[in-house]
Amino acid sequence: MKSELISVIVPVHNGQAYLENCIDSLAGQSYDNLEILIVNDGSTDRTGEICAGLQEKYGNIVVFTLADQGVSAARNYAIEQSKGAYVTFVDADDRLCPGMLQHLYERITATDSDLAGCRFRTWSTEEAWKSIRQSMEQGDGVPAAEDASAGMPDADERESVKSEHLYDSRQYLKESILRDNCRCWSKLYRRQLIDKVRFREGLTVGEDMLFLVDILPYLHKAVETAYPGYGYYQNPGGVMQRPFTPSYMDQIRCWEMAQEKILKIDETLRPQTAAKIITGVMLTASKIALCTAQERRKAKDYLTQCQRKLQQQMQVPGNAAYLPKGYQLKASLFCHLPRLYICLYRILQAVKRSGK
């Protein structure tokens, strides 16, 4: 019996350097009943030409072109056009290990889940990706370390990749989303789960997490496995690596919107959501701190917003228990002495750079 169709959605903007390798990794999946939907979203480089070549090379690729509407709009458009019983999302600079979609399909059907997710491995060089592939092909399930001094995985590590956790909707919120499994990729979704949900458009940081929060009312069961099948490229030009722009405030806005929905589900999660907003504020404030003096003056209103939002969330009892290490001290300093925090942060980063 022929396996069910999986729709693989790949939004791309100016991806000439990496799109072809991404699509080749999809074409090399052991699960072969795929439709690949590439959405060329306003690219100004050779991405369009590469898309045309890939469509000619592979018979299961459909290419759509949008006028730079953003990644959420691109994903939403592709969802509407897709035909699969299952849907997955892949970023155009990432790659999949050959067995990933087969593994997720087997787990989602075997557990009768609405969503199946797996872990990811970060890579930044072709050598690192080759090491990941080789280890997966050898059946370890644990990619060889980039640093040889880290040694080979032991038996416990090999066994751990076979583990999985089943969650109901509320457990998935508490044990997965609020523990930083906020990515829409590295997951396989039943179409019924996302039929009534779309990505929030106009956001550039945090839209993945909001999508997962938005599907919670329709999620009955999810399975997350330790299988490390998704290859996440540490892109130096990625959103999180760029200098501060106003859109960077999205990571705060998204968690504020998520907090509103989450507290309707479970009011006791206020400390956890407060910690997420505090973390977003501090990441944003740190980005502003690294701006030039002139840029910081232009960003003064954003810095003021950060301080105000931080003060609100710092008043939530119990938030400190959910903050990353060191964040409580940094947040307290920025909350009461923002100029001093900016100055000290700049000095610390300068010292780190000089020590490289």
Residues 327 and 230 in one domain: no
Q: Hunting for tokens 């997490």 — which residue is that?
A: 209
Q: What is the CATH number of the domain that holds 41?
A: 3.90.550.10
| Distance separating alpha carbons of residues 55 and 63, to the nearest angstrom | 7
pLDDT > 60? residue 19:
yes
Residue 258 lies in a domain: yes
Q: Decide which of 239, 254, 280 is a domain's last residue.
A: 239
Summarised one tens digit per residue, pLDDT across range 171-212 is 999 999 999 999 999 999 999 999 999 999 998 889 999 999
Residue 158 lies in a domain: yes
Residues 74 and 125 in one domain: yes
Full domain range(s) for residue 255: 243-354
Average pLDDT, the chain: 90
Count of structural domains, the chain: 2
**C-alpha to C-alpha distances, 340 to 135, 334, 335, nearest whole angstrom:** 48, 8, 10
Position 244 scores a pLDDT of 83
Position 158 scores a pLDDT of 46
Summarised one tens digit per residue, pLDDT across range 129-174 is 999 988 887 765 544 333 332 233 344 444 455 689 999 999 999 9
Residues 129 and 184 in one domain: yes
| Distance separating alpha carbons of residues 135 and 140, to the nearest angstrom | 6
Note the Cα 350 to chain centre separation in Å. Answer: 29
Q: Decide which of 211, 239, 267 is a domain's last residue.
A: 239
Residues 303 and 230 in one domain: no
Q: Decide which of 200, 223, 239 is a domain's last residue.
A: 239
Residues 163 and 250 in one domain: no
Residues 211 and 264 in one domain: no
Residues 288 and 189 in one domain: no
Residues 275 and 137 in one domain: no
Position 152 scores a pLDDT of 31
Q: What is the mean pLDDT of residues 289-298?
A: 91
pLDDT > 60? residue 33:
yes
Position 330 scores a pLDDT of 94
Residues 235 and 255 in one domain: no
- What b/e string do you get for 76-104 counting C-beta neighbours within 10 Å, with b at 16 or more? bbbbeebebebbbbbbbbbbbbbbbbbbb
Residue 1 lies in a domain: no
Q: Which residue has the higher pLDDT, 77 or 155?
A: 77
Residues 107 and 229 in one domain: yes
